[in-house]
Every structure is written in structure tokens, then in C-alpha cells.
Chains A and B, each alone.
Chain A
């Protein structure tokens, strides 16, 4: 088990490292010159432009720049702009071109928003989605099962952002049944944190729950017909124990696999959700940075997203091996 975790950890770190290289390359592939972007359009003289290039070390070899960027992340670094020295502490991702604030600081306030959103989403799909699917599998062929499954099909064939906009419009503004979206840090007020995120969670979660219900139903129908389920019943176990202990454990394996693949998608969904409910998360930040070519911020968001993604996938891998002991061997 320990060996398994260590191996997965190693591969996770190499993915982060690769992302680091690729995002850094953005600096040079991007259709904008960073120095020109900082310099602005109006008061930019050749002298000032050269000055900025020199301060950002853009005139140095690319390998050295990368080394400095990477070193900044682990040890911090200093920037000197026209004689003013700015200290950038340990996980240094540079300064925003536009606001001149450290990127790390900008991200720090936004990561909890996106993480809250994705975590709530995960809890919803893995509980309600899986539970609904299991119930449908147990009652397969009945009217309830058919109604449930066809309604999930209808719901999941409407594009997500339309569902989100409609719910937001009808249920929080026109008929304020649900609280409006907003973000209050968890440490400040757990109640407000929950209330503000409830609608975004439901919107993002229920939409995916329909898909998870379908995956789980399919997987559970298959599992329930396994020989070892018959064995479990032959032991004299109750229907509930057979379904939610013996069948669900095997039935979860494909669902967890899909969940692992789906996490990237849920981060994408988070961008829409943050936009629609105006939550100050990473998605909103990256959208506004893209329009202003604020490269350090974009790089920062991509890097942090990849770390979130890799972490979640690592958790999924470990969860997978906890569910299925056979995974640890291979």
C-alpha cells in the first residue's frame, strides 16, 4: 500500500512539473509581448520598454528565466522596478501586470472559492447521484426506474449553462426560493458560506447527478446480477446490506473511475458557475486576466488548477485502491 501511494505521488509530481514547463512556455508563445503589455499603449517610450524588459529579466536566456521562476515558487525572489525593490515571498508566481499585486496573494483569496465549489459538487454527485442510481438499479424495470432514467436523460441533454442560467433566474431572482449565490469565507461564517454556495452547488451538482445516477445505475444493475450477490443473499443478509454493502462497493469502481476523469470537467464547469453566480473564484480571475493579457495571473491560475487536478486524481487513485484490493497488486 505504501509503495502504491509513493508511486502515485511520484507520477503526480511529474505531471505538475510538466505543467510548470508548459505554462512557462506561454510567456513566449503568447501573442503578446509581456514588456509591451506592462508598458501600456500611451506613455510607452523605447527607454521605459527596455527598462521593463531588463527588470523582468526578459533579456536573459530562457533557461535562466525558467530557473528563476521555479526558484521563486520554492524560495521566493525579488523584483526591481526603477530602483524600487519588491520582495515576492516563497510560493512566488510573480506580480500581476495590471494591478501590480503578487499573483500568489490574488490566488490565495480565490482558491477557497473554487475548491469549495468543486468539493460540494463532488459530495453531491457521489452521494445523491450514486444513491439515486442504486435505487433505480434495485427497482429496475419498474415505472419509477423508467421515469427517473428518462428524466435524467432529458435534463442532461440540455446544455449546462442554460440550466444554470434558468435556475439562477427563476429560483433566486424571480421566485426567490433559493438563496442567491455569493461567497463568504468559511472561517468567517459557516452559515453564510453554506447559504451562498448552496444554489451554485445545486446547479452544478444536480446537473451532473443525473449523469452519475445513470452511470451508477448501469454499474449497479451489472453488479446486482453477480454470483457473489446471490451468495450474500444466501447467507441471510438483508436486502439493504446486500445492495448498499456488497453491491455498492463493486458498483462504485467504475463510478470512481469516471469521477477521476470528470474532475477536469468540473473545474471547467466551475468557470461557468462562478461567472453566472458572480463568485470570486479562479474561473472568474482567469477570465478577466485573459482579456487583459495578464500573463503571470494566467500562468498562476493554470498552475494552481493543475495542482488541484493532480491532487484530486491522486485522491481518486488512492480511493480506488482502498475499494479494490486487487488494484494494489498491479
Chain B
């Protein structure tokens, strides 16, 4: 369970061109922030080739449970530049939410072991005390949650919640904060902000609630916004509006966005870079164009194939067979092998014995995938692409 955790950064062909020795297994408490900040680097590149604002390296998140250690995230590395959007895609339980909660430092410290590195504008977050993290949360990094119905406090007015978020990080009077909140409500397209300010979340519609949530998240002008399935709980017609809003706000504020989703339609519309997660590991990572148009991992193929299309209305849906594995007992080798329809094309038992490294797809560029298949490109072109239509 723990041995393969560092392979992403050990691999010689690693996407991050990582030269820092792995820090797997070192917990927050043991790490010295002063040492960590000396390691800060500005050379790490994202797949789209810009200097990143958020750099996550070899992130491992583990939860000790009565049944054993659950590794929810294993050796995850990615980076996002300002003004860009990274989509993290995967099934439920693949670790996409857990990893972003770790960026926010929202995990219960007593029940979580976090190792690796999370750098925000060069500053290390792993190892910070709760008080230091509190200053980052909601200020430099904000989060927009999945279900605005349950993520807004039902007993406080929307205005109260937004001003509160502003006043945590700004020592200003209530009136100044209120002015700012009204400005934000207006900015996210809520009509009649003065009236809406005094209303409770239950008096808002779903889409309006999510707008209010976004207003609350962006009130401190964060450089990084983590949006955890922001459109999942919404009406389909409202989804597009919220995505547009996020897009426009990003242009205006120039913030980096990490968009967690399982909807590849959302990915296609929003993402600059895409990271596909499976069972706590990154299995494919590259620019949106690379991953969506030239995917090189059977799991990504499966995700693309399972999207229903109108033109194929009379065909059956093609789900990925089987269920995601339990994180307590991951299958040996590649975690995806029991569900992978191409595993028998790899010689020997490599799929069940060796965990594939995250390797460059073409031996060059930043597109990486984790698969033993030799002729990924030709299998995709010959077998998968035609089925996608």
C-alpha cells in the first residue's frame, strides 16, 4: 500500500521534471515549514506551460480507520497557473474531493495523515498550523461546494454569511462589508441585491443559491478557487449559466480554478488542463485537448465512452463494467486492471503485478498516462475513437 506512493515523483520520465527528493510518509507535524519554504521553486510547469500558482507534489492523504489505513490520495502531483482551469475528473471515491479538501486544509488533523507538498504562490501549506491555515482559507483559496442547499447555513441570511466571510479576513465595519457583499451579489448576477441580502437561503432558488455561494467564495478576491462539482446539484439549464459565470469571473479576477467534476461535458467547456483520477492516483494528466482528443488510458476511454450521445439514441449505454475498488484493499498492479478490457493485451502478468508509472505519452510534451499498454495510440484510433462517433 505505501511502497508505490512515491512513484509519480521517482519515475525518470516524470511530467513535473521533479528534482526534489520525495517526502512521502512525512506527516504535517514532522515537517518544518521553514525548511519547506526554502524548497520553494518557481520552475514547475503545468501542461499548458505556464508558471503555476498552485503546485501539488506527491500529495498523499491517508485516513487511519478501524479496518486499516485508507489511502484516499496517493502520490498526486499537479499544478495550476493563474487564470487557468484544471479539471480533476473521476468517479466517486477516486480521491478528487479529498485531495482538494487537503489543499484547503479542511481535513480533521487527528484523523488524517497528509504528506507531500502543497505550495500556493511558492508558500508551503503542508505542515502549517491550524491558525496559519485559517488565514489562507477563504482568503487566498476559496471553495465553492457542490450542493448550495446544504452548504449555506439555513439559519443566517445570505447577506450575513457573505459579510462574515469578508470580515474574517478584513478588519472593516459592518457597513463596509455590507457594501462589498452587495457588490458581489450584483457581480454574480443576483437581481435586486438589497432585497436578496436580507433573505435566507431557503428563499433562494437553486441557481441563485449557487450564485450566492460563488459570491461568498469570491468576496475576498481569492487567487485560487476550488469548485467541487459546482453544478451537480443544479438544474441542467442553470448549469450552463453557473459555468459561464465562473468563466467570466475568472477572466475578471484572473484566478486559478480547480474544477472537480465527473461531467466530461463540463470539462470540455471549462478546462485548460485535465487530470483523471482513479482509486486515489492520477492515471492521466495533460491539456484538455490532449486528454479529451488523444486519451491514452483505458479508464479515460471508458469515461468518454460512457457519455450518452443523441446520435446514438438507439444504442445501449456503455458503462465501465464493475465498481471502483475498495481503498482498503486495492488490486495488485494497476488499480484499474480488474475492470480494464485491454488488460489481456499486455504481455505476462504485468497489469496485476506492477503498478504502471505515470509516463509521458509520446516521450515528449506534458501529456502523461499510467498504463502498461504499448500501442495505446493505435488501439485508441482503431477501436475506441470510432465508437465515440
Contact = CB atoms under 8 A, between A and B. Distances in A.
Interface of A: 226-228, 230-239, 246, 249-250, 323-326
Contact of B202 (A228, A230, A326): A326
B155 A234 contact: no
B311 interface: no
Which are the 6 A-B pairs with shortest beta-carbon distances?
A236-B138, A236-B137, A227-B150, A235-B138, A228-B153, A227-B151
B359 interface: no
B139 A236 contact: yes
A231 B142 CA distance: 10
A239 B105 CA distance: 13
Contact of B104 (A234, A237, A239, A325): A234
Contacts of B139: 236
Given A249-B155, A324-B155, A230 B145 contact: yes
Interface string B128-159: 00100011111100110101001111111000
11 contacts: A227-B150, A227-B151, A228-B153, A233-B137, A234-B142, A236-B165, A236-B169, A237-B134, A237-B168, A250-B154, A325-B155
Interface residues of B, number: 28
A236 B168 contact: yes
A239 B138 contact: no
Given A235-B168, A235-B216, A325-B200, A230 B151 contact: yes
B305 interface: no
Interface in B163-211: 164-165, 168-169, 200, 202
B307 interface: no
Nearest to B146: A227
A234 B150 CA distance: 14
B134 A231 contact: no
A238 B155 contact: no
B150 A236 contact: no
Given A228-B152, A325-B155, A234 B134 contact: no
A325 B203 CA distance: 11
Nearest to A325: B200
B138 A234 contact: yes
B34 interface: no
A323 to B, nearest CB: 7
Interface string B197-241: 000101000000000010010000000000000000000000000
B388 interface: no
A246 B152 CA distance: 11
A142 to B, nearest CB: 9
B134 A232 contact: no
